[in-house]
Amino acid sequence: MRNADYMRRCFDLAKKGFRYTGQNPIVGAILVYENRIIGEGYHEAYGGPHAEVNCFQNVRTKDEMLIHKAKLYVSLEPCSFHGKTPACSTLIIKKKPVAVVVGCLDPNPKVSGKGIEALRQNNIPVQLGILEEEAKSLIKKFKINHFQKRPLIALKWAQSKYRYAGLRDQSIWFTNQYSRVKAHQLRGQFESIMIGVNSVILDNPKLDNRLGIGPSPQKIIIDPRARVPIDSQMLSYGENTIVISKVQAKTTDSSRCKWIQISDDSWNWNTIFRRIFQEGITSVLVEGGPTLQTTIIKEGLWDEAHVLSSKHPLQHGIRAPKVEGRRLDHVTLADDEYLSYRQRIGLVFYEVSKPHPTCIDYVLVIIFWQTSTCCATDQRYSLRLHCFASARIRQHLGFEHRKRCDYE
């Protein structure tokens, strides 16, 4: 097997932690000796042991003497500081595998190259950048949480054959039982689920995960004018629901909700999502309705979209939202289809303290992530040509200058 195959195994392991690692990155690690995996581990829960620790821990007693002859593969650079848990680089130096293969650097400024440096200084060879793009894409949620201080935002909707998402005054069901299971599986992957108050009034949903693996998400209702019916299922069933409103709580003691008020002046999606993040919520699945989702798309605040497309002939009512992103997944579910997308481009403007020699005052670094289509690649190269032209180019392209934001 090649390095890339082993790295893919790390990615698969890492993904198992997605629902439980909170603000931490998902990470997978394996130890390989003579083409045999002798240990595997992943970061299972926020605050818990890191992938490397679990990997060493899972080596069988009879294989322990092989560790110093094995290669360690890890999807993210090993950490080099003592946070909630001790530094992984220290543990690796102690265990001394023959080499370490790393997917990508840890963007956390507390690590960012220092983990690899520590290993190299202790004579452990490190190979960096195996399947780097995929490794970076794996920790997308971590980067959003860490640098933007907001949750990862995923949209989910169902649509008819003609891309209508519903009727204004009537609840309508498009998709089959397989799509329903898929929808619940998605709910099991996200820490919270959000809908607008119109959907609560129209559909009166429970929004829990009854059919998929994993827990039910925390429920959130966007209700600027406090119209949520106190006897709705979301307020009277299951765990507490968060209601975000411009006005004061309309609740009674008996209603199960946490009311968060955001003033009219600061009411916008940025504030709302940052406020949700302050509640410790690191991912949100926005289930509707389509009008609310479209406003999020217009703000450019969506990260993923999950679409269940049916053959239902509805061709009037509310248009389904529309996104342009990189296709992640496409699955046929009998006569329905499931498609998922990821926001394609991220622009980062770095202001550097030490300017590039050919540059007048700033260097603009434009980083695209998740790019795979020709169009994005062309764009990338043409923009890269302008990278060192600084303020002149900013002006020319109409780019607004931002402070360093470290967000890839």
**Would you name the residues annotated as active-site residues?**
52
How far apart CA 326 and CA 316 sit, in angstroms, is 28
**CA 391 centroid distance within chain:** 32
Query: Angle at Cα 154 formed by Cα 367 and Cα 103, nearest 5°?
Result: 45
For Zn ion (CB under 5 A), the number of binding residues is 3
Task: Out of 8, 9, 19, 43, point to the residue binding ligand AOF (CB under 6 A).
Answer: 43
How many residues of this chain bind ligand AOF (CB under 6 A)?
17
Residue closer to ligand AOF, measured from CB, 51 or 155: 51
Q: Which is nearer to Zn ion, 82 or 384 (CB)?
A: 82
CB 301 within 8 A of CB 294: no
Alpha-carbon torsion, ordered 184, 187, 189, 192, to 10 deg: -170
333, 179 Cβ separation under 8 angstroms? yes
Q: What's 293-332 look like in SS3?
A: HHHHHHCCCCCEEEEEECCCCCCCCEECCCCCEEEEEEEE
Tell me which stretch binds ligand AOF (CB under 6 A): 45-53, 151-159, 290-298, 339-347: 45-53
106 contributes a contact to ligand AOF by CB under 6 A: yes
Q: Which window, 50-58, 165-173, 273-281, 353-361, contacts ligand AOF (CB under 6 A)?
A: 50-58
Least Cβ distance, residue 96 to ligand AOF (angstroms): 17
355: left (phi over 0), alpha (psi -120 to 50) or beta: beta
Cis peptide bond upstream of 289, omega within 30: yes
Q: Counting contacts by CB under 6 A, is residue 25 touching ligand AOF?
A: yes
- Name which of 110 and 392 has its Cβ closer to ligand AOF: 110
Q: Which does 210 bind (CB under 5 to 8 A by kind): Zn ion, ligand AOF, none?
A: none
The reply to whether 83 sits near ligand AOF by the rule CB under 6 A is: yes
Backbone angles phi, psi at 123, to 5 degrees: 60, 30
Question: According to CB under 6 A, which one of 111, 186, 243, 286 is a site residue for ligand AOF?
Answer: 111
Instruction: Find the binding residues for Zn ion in span 76-95 (CB under 5 A).
Output: 79, 88
Q: Tell me which residue of 174, 108, 159 sits closest to 408, measured CA to CA.
A: 108
- Which structure tokens are listed for 397? 């392209």
* Secondary element (H or E) of residue 353: none
Applying CB under 5 A, does 141 fall inside the site for Zn ion? no
Q: 248 to 267, contacts with ligand AOF by CB under 6 A?
A: none
* Contact status: 38 vs ligand AOF (CB under 6 A): no
Among candidates 199, 116, 113, which has minimal Cα distance to 156? 199
Among 37, 55, 78, 144, contact with ligand AOF (rule: CB under 6 A):
78
Site string for ligand AOF, 320-339 (x = CB under 6 A): --------------------
Contacts to Zn ion by CB under 5 A: 50, 79, 88
